[in-house]
Chain A
Amino acid sequence: MKKTLALLLVLLASLQATSAFAVQATSFTYTVDDTMTLVRTQDAYLPDKTISSLGLNSPEDLFFDDSGLLYIADTGNKRVLVYDSLREQVVKELAHPDFRTPRGLYVTEEGQLYVADAGAKAVFRFDGDLALDHTFLKPDTAVFADTNYEPMKVAVDKAGSIYIIGEGVYSGVIQLAPTGEFLGYFTVNRSRPSIQQIIQRALFTREQRANLVDVAPGTFSNVFVDKQGIVYTTSMGLELDGLKKHATNGVNMFVSPAWGEEDMRDVTVNGEGVIFVSSQRGKVTIYSKAGELVFSFGSNVADLDVSGLYGSLPSIAVSPNGDIWTVDGMKGYLQSYKPTVYANTVYEAMTLYEQGRYKDSLELWNQALRLNQMSVLAHNGVGNALFHEGQYEQSMGHFEVAGNRHYYSEAFWEVRNDWLQKTLPLVAIALIALVLLALLIRRLDKKRHIRGLLRGMWARLAAAPFVGNVLFALTTARHPLDGYYDLRVKKRGSLPAATFLYAAFFVTFILYQTSKGFIYQFVRVQDIDVAGLSAGFFVLLGMFIFCNWLVSSINDGDGTLKQIYMIPAYALLPLLFAMLINLALSYGVTYSESFILSLVEGVGILWSLATLFLGLMTVHDYSFKETVKSLLMTVVFIIIAALVALIFIVMVERLYQFLGTIFQEVKRNVYA
């Protein structure tokens, strides 16, 4: 409790810290980069009006009708206000006696107002004059009998079907017919157990499983139907899929899950299909039609009254003129925002692009890009527009910054195709020339023994002990049984050569992790923990060698520690070659040809594993079964060794902390 309080105070104190280049907004505006990390962008909206004079008490929902009137669910005061946002005055107040906790609103094109009231356990429908028209009570269907019916949010489609989010209903979005008949659950959230829970379920007994807490699916928090009749929902507790755009059968239409906050509370969609979401902790997030994050702004600061910083943000609405209106559920005032020139540029570019007017959109995307060179959206926009204009090479640069591997690959295919068409004759000529050169050399060799010269040089090189021992890896790769027999019996191979092979493998491995072509380089160099990777590689290798040596001592293995050290070094050569080949191929192969890389990598891994297995079998003079047993025991030993090391590290750390605390105490008592 004390720590939570402390953290809260710290977060509040953080507002006192220095800022960077903020001009007129009260929170920073973000978009996402190619790694889905939030990055700063130009202010998209600026706080406009703050309306604190309405006396709102725990307001829960906002809705703009087509005429621009704002409906406010003033839940704590058990009323609905109709507010003229232009004239800044309340034009109507609806305080129906049956209202208990009016929490959700929806106004149809015909002007019918639907009010979801969890306390009254009903959805009320009012006509255009705000006279009660119908009350939708709990459906009396047997299927629905055991379900809680406390409507929190409501939306209505063109056919009059009613979508209700019920409090405590995990089954899904309740769908009623215009008559109030229960039609079923329009859509559901599926539960996603964590890895820990999956393991627990696999290992636990039935009794233990019964004691586990059920994994609840994310709970729906709101529902909205746009002008086209498309249903949108938001959910709480989901990092991905918190926002969904549903097809008529309830399935989510977003190809990639919409990334966003875990505490989404409300969703609304404007005429162009742009989606606006509010989250409990004060974030306004804006998505494109396809669910790509466009902007995110707003923040949660309960202890200050600053425009745009919220105690809680239960609802959001967009006026016909494009202004965003929000309501602070805790502080009880309305806050509007006006879009900036930048936001309008982005929206216009998105609209033109969706209309297929790529050339027109290009200019606007370039404007947006000029104002934010880190914007993935703008780079994608420019890249796509250029791609559709046939400017593939130029588009590749933008796709690369945007991290858009799919389109980069498409553009690259076009560029490569063009290059191949242009250079194919030259390549053919070069190949023919090479063949002719080879023939010429062969002919000349008969007279002048050129190849013999080369062979002699190679033989002399191979005769050098170190080189010879390194090249011995080729033998173990091609003839593992013979090679490792020679290693055991004829004492071929050497420690320096094996160490060199490990070093070569490690360098190749790091290059493979960091230096592939853009299409296949999924991790940025700066995001790679080279120190961790190196430590992991060498520690694991060391533990394997050491543990296998221990195991072989128990299982009568013939291999010495030196030989066990050499076995993996010589076995890794096929994988090393596979990585080198893939490294080169990654610069010339498109996304659709990725199976080539997978194939090469797969062959390399299998080859190396097989070589390692045969190496251990040969060196230790084990049967197949004994080798398997020895490997399994090695793995067990590694786990035990890791656990012991972990316990030791924890103990040392505790001791260090203990001594540190005593030192601090002594220091304070001496000086204080």
Chain B
Amino acid sequence: MSTLKRLLALCLVCLFALPGLAEDYAPTNRDTRYEPVTMDIPEPDFDGFEPLYETASAQYYWREDRDVIAVYDKESGYTWKTGLDTGFPADIKDQVKQAQTDEEKIKAAQPLEAQLNARYIGIANSLLTAEYYEAETIKFISSASREGASSALVKLDQPGRFALDVSFEEIDLQVKVNIAFEDKGISYHIPFDGLKGAGLSRLAALWITPFLGASGGVSQVFDPQAMDYGPAQPKAMTPGYVLVPDGPGALIRFRDNTVTFKEYVGEVYGDDYATATYYYNVLTDAVSLKQPVMPVFGIAHGHEQAAFVAFARQGAEHMSIVARPEENLRIKYTWAHPRFEYNATYYKVYNRYGEGFFSLMSAPLNYDIQMTYRFLSGAEATWAGMARAYRAHLRSEGSLTELEASGDDIPIRLDFILSDIKKGLIGPEQVVVTTARDAGEMLTKLNQDGIRRISSGLIGWQDGAQTLAQPGSLRFYRGTGDEQAFKTLAREQDELGTQVELARDFARVNEKMVRYNGNAVQHLNTWFVNTDYSWRYPKAPVTQYSLARPDVAAKWLQNVAKRAGQNGLGLMVTGLPGLLVSTHRYEGPEVTRLQAKDLLRDAFQTAGQDASLSLDQPNLYLWNSTRRYLQAPVTGSQHVFESDNVPFLQMVLQGSMDVHGPYSNFSFYAREDILRMIDYHTYPSFILSRQPAHLLVSTMSADLYSTEFSQYEQLVKDTYDQVNAALGQLVGWQWQDRTMLQQGVAQNTYARDGQIKHLIINYTHNAVDINGTSVPAQNWTLEERGAHGQ
């Protein structure tokens, strides 16, 4: 090739590359970043520790004076410490002062933890920290406090079993923590009957190993030249992140922040509105925070070097996951821990004007805690490794079961809004936008267009629709179709392979729907829990809602499931699967959150035997009854300090149920969104109607602002075809891993019978070359077959 030709070729390449350079992919906190930063694994330091136990994979040590357990991972050579393992500055300075010679002073002069006061140093070292009430304020005391608390580790008879007896003398509270060392992990068990003392009535919460995996910090190092401590200096920050179950999963990378941030608090299984501070709340224009549906979090250090995943096996009903970014409370560490609540203040109302006072619960919550930490190393030490470990745990305990899957097509979710209620001239008026017959025609049409494996929920089939019908009512609204019409629909669609389901929200109730007494959840202050929807639905006929008691909702669910099953219909359940609430009377709790969980789990299992269940964002305890997971989140709450979103939830669930994403009608239809579905192994969903959506503007379905089938038919087909082209080739394959190859390019690894497939998704606006395979801009490639996306 001549020089001129080469120059021309170079110019051409530059010309094509320029737009790409101008548009570098800039990830947001809704994406996953490419940040493979490794750490230098420090030499293990067990000075002051005594060995406790050893397994094939790990060695466990204990430091009595600081309450710190050290875990040495034999595979990675990394040492995890449950606390910071740092002395109190006053003690260290005393030791330095008492040293006779310079050499002794230098030896005694350990680095001082700057910017942490004695209370926080205690917390940072501690295995257990207690929050307690003093007057109306919350205070903290830790098992490693300088004063006011003591602890003693006792070896039990069984190998690898110990008990830590913690005494918080300052508040007269004793806590027994049973510790079990596993092959490469630790379990903590805190039975309720191990909590003793008068201080129990003041106990707000317990934190377990709050500084395990913390990164950051500022220290003062002793200067041998000056024979004094130098100025405070930031410590070398360990690279890595905290994984929190926010939406699909979010990472909080360790960063040196310059402004203060509030902390992330994930209330596992969502809020218990019956024990919230107030019995009422108001919906505003901000999107609600996404609450964890599973009690899990994790921390990774370095890139594919060391990590742990921590999950609750007991006590998740009262657990929250707290992750504090650097600069939260002006503390220069990023740290995360589980918090188990025992008591809380609430607003006790004494008259109908809402006047009242703050009060504590009359008795602490009675439950056991069991928290397990599994340590991971090498390629397992990533958030994906955490997902695999957690998935394996859930499958082993039966919370998830493997789904038999075959074929070449993915499922699709096509829900229909049939009707809802608006104010009429004389009374409520049921607005019908789709009939059973309409739904059948639309489903058949799509089936004829080549869309297979459809499941479909019908919303608003009852007389009174979702807004006015009692949730357990089995009265079909004739305007949408009588029972026979739905039965016929189910039978006809079943022949086409389509599962039709009746949809119902069993959680949300209003006074026009049911009598609150005996049906609605009562707050700790015995008022009925209330949510005001008027801001969001100003024209709706009903805007004040309460929640159904869990025992009542469970009965309604079973009734409707039974009838649905008799008619060959499945059941789509909204509201209830992601809600766990208690209910109270003057005498005390009538149904506790723990009892509610058991009630609902049993009810869903029974219902699942009668009808196929599709659940809207179900909590973990319902997963083994779930055939389809609906509205799976694809983004987290987007806290500013969250750096990435990752499909942790989807990876845990994959292979156990069909996971459908949010309705594509609503801001989830762009090319990036379709790539996100493929990347997150999430199947498409739509909500449709025969009539235009503007007919629903004065109903509680006003949020469904665009549903008309004629407008969406093509988009349904296009979306299905695009997602099916990629994920259809992976039906029956196990999702094993997800890594970022570069900024905006993700690689998902799937395995089956020893075979491997790599699905590469390119979110960027430029074609990228991966190991000799070109992936077009905003497209995907399945590496084994080399098939390109649409």
Contact = CB atoms under 8 A, between A and B. Distances in A.
Contacts of B287: 19, 22, 25-28
B677 to A, nearest CB: 11
Interface in A5-60: 6, 9-11, 13-28, 30, 33, 37-43, 46-50, 52-55
Interface stretch (B492-500, B513-521, B596-604, B662-670): B662-670
A672 B363 CA distance: 13
A664 interface: yes
A40 B586 contact: no
A15 B285 contact: no
Given A14-B284, A15-B288, A307 B670 contact: no
A10 B281 contact: yes
A370 B706 contact: yes
B698 A524 contact: yes
A13 B697 contact: no
A373 B712 CA distance: 12
A657 interface: yes
Given A55-B258, A305-B641, A340-B670, A530 B697 contact: no
A53 B326 CA distance: 13
Nearest to B289: A15
A303 interface: yes
A333 interface: yes
Given A14-B282, A15-B286, A671-B586, A373 B706 contact: yes
A307 B352 CA distance: 38
Interface centre among A18, A22, A25 (most CB of B within 10 A): A18
A170 B422 CA distance: 46
Interface stretch (B181-189, B212-220, B271-279): B271-279
B639 A39 contact: no
Interface residues of A, number: 80
A13 B698 CA distance: 26
User: Which of A301, A305, A375, A401 is packed against the most chain B CB atoms within 10 Å?
Assistant: A305
B639 A37 contact: no
Given A9-B277, A52-B257, A373 B708 contact: yes
Interface stretch (B24-32, B467-475, B770-778): B24-32
Interface in B644-699: 662-663, 665-670, 673, 692-694, 697-698
A27 B281 contact: no
A49 B26 contact: yes
A24 B30 contact: yes
Contacts of B665: 371
Most buried by A among B258, B285, B541: B285
Given A52-B640, A661-B351, A373 B258 contact: no
B690 to A, nearest CB: 13
A214 to B, nearest CB: 33
A342 B706 contact: no
A14 B283 contact: yes
Interface stretch (B85-93, B120-128, B140-148, B423-431): B423-431
B586 A527 contact: no
B271 A305 contact: no
A667 interface: yes
Interface string B508-532: 0000000000000000000000010
B96 to A, nearest CB: 35
A54 B259 CA distance: 9
A528 B425 contact: yes
Main DSSP-derived SS at the A contact region: mixed
Contacts of B277: 9, 13
B398 interface: no
Given A301-B286, A661-B351, A14 B697 contact: no
Nearest to B708: A373
Contact of B281 (A17, A23, A48): A17
Nearest to A667: B586
A18 B270 CA distance: 9
B531 A13 contact: no
A37 B535 CA distance: 10
A9 B347 CA distance: 11
A37 B705 CA distance: 14
A319 interface: no
Nearest to B663: A21
A510 interface: yes
Q: Determine which residue in A20, A304, A374 has the highest number of CB atoms from chain B within 10 A of its CB, and name it.
A: A20
A16 B703 contact: no
A24 B350 contact: no
Contacts of A18: 270, 288, 575, 578-579
B126 to A, nearest CB: 27
A657 to B, nearest CB: 6
Contact of B638 (A13, A307, A371, A526): A307
A524 to B, nearest CB: 7
B417 to A, nearest CB: 12
A21 to B, nearest CB: 5
Contact of B702 (A13, A374, A527, A664): A374
A218 interface: no
B267 interface: yes
User: Which of B29, B697, B707, B712 has the most A CB atoms < 10 Å from its CB?
Assistant: B697
B666 A23 contact: yes
Nearest to A397: B692
Contacts of A305: 261-262, 639-641
B122 to A, nearest CB: 27
Contact of A13 (B281, B539, B673): B281
B44 interface: no
A39 B702 contact: yes
A660 B352 CA distance: 8
A341 B670 contact: yes
Contacts of A664: 350-351
Nearest to A42: B667
Contacts of A333: 259, 640
B280 interface: yes
A19 B288 contact: yes
Given A9-B277, A24-B30, A661-B350, A374 B639 contact: no
A66 B703 CA distance: 39
A308 interface: yes
Given A39-B702, A304-B262, A16 B281 contact: yes
Contacts of A475: none
A445 interface: no
9 contacts: A14-B282, A22-B666, A27-B286, A42-B666, A306-B638, A510-B425, A526-B422, A526-B539, A664-B351
Interchain residue pairs A-B with the least CB separation, the first 7: A671-B586, A526-B423, A299-B286, A19-B288, A43-B667, A22-B287, A373-B693
Given A16-B281, A341-B670, A526-B539, 19 more contacts: A10-B282, A14-B281, A14-B286, A16-B271, A16-B276, A24-B30, A24-B668, A30-B285, A39-B697, A55-B258, A305-B640, A332-B259, A373-B693, A374-B694, A526-B698, A527-B539, A530-B426, A665-B350, A667-B586
